[in-house]
């Protein structure tokens, strides 16, 4: 007989067929579990990528639509504040003319 077959025959006699069959079943189950987890991970990755894409689209929408409105509003408020400062300065000059600040004696 071939020496490798003799070694295999001795292993089978020592370990036994049920043990070898159980080990084979265990290996197949582990392989199936690994493949199932890999598929689930792939599906979760696809879902996460879709979520990131959706968030990016929403951020782009906010950037294009809403931030432009905010910039316009901020510019209008700044212009209004400049006008208010001009009015206050003219009031201050008018009061200075009415009330002589040099206090002539």
Domain boundaries, the chain: 3-98
Please check whether residue 20 is in contact with residue 12, taking contact to mean a CB–CB distance below 8 angstroms.
Answer: yes
| Distances 48 to 37, 52, 53 between C-alpha atoms, Å | 16, 6, 9
pLDDT at 71: 80
pLDDT at 48: 93
Please check whether residue 55 is in contact with residue 47, taking contact to mean a CB–CB distance below 8 angstroms.
Answer: no
Show Cβ contacts of residue 12 under 8 Å, excluding neighbours closer than 6 positions. 20
pLDDT at 61: 84
Region label for 15, one of left (φ > 0), alpha (ψ between -120 and 50) or beta (otherwise): alpha
The pTM assigned to this predicted structure is: 0.43
pLDDT in tens, the chain (105 residues): 688 888 888 888 888 888 888 989 999 999 999 999 999 999 999 999 999 999 999 888 877 777 777 788 888 888 888 888 888 888 888 787 777 666 554
């Amino acid at each position: 007989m071939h020496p490798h077959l003799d070694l295999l025959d001795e292993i089978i006699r020592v370990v036994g067929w049920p043990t070898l069959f159980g080990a084979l079943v265990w290996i197949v189950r582990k392989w199936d579990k690994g493949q199932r987890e890999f598929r689930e991970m792939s599906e979760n990755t696809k879902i996460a990528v879709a979520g990131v894409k959706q968030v990016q689209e929403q951020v782009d929408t906010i950037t294009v639509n809403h931030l432009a409105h905010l910039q316009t509003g901020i510019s209008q408020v700044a212009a209004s504040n400049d006008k208010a400062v001009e009015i206050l300065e003219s009031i201050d000059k008018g009061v200075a003319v009415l009330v002589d600040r040099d206090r002539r004696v």
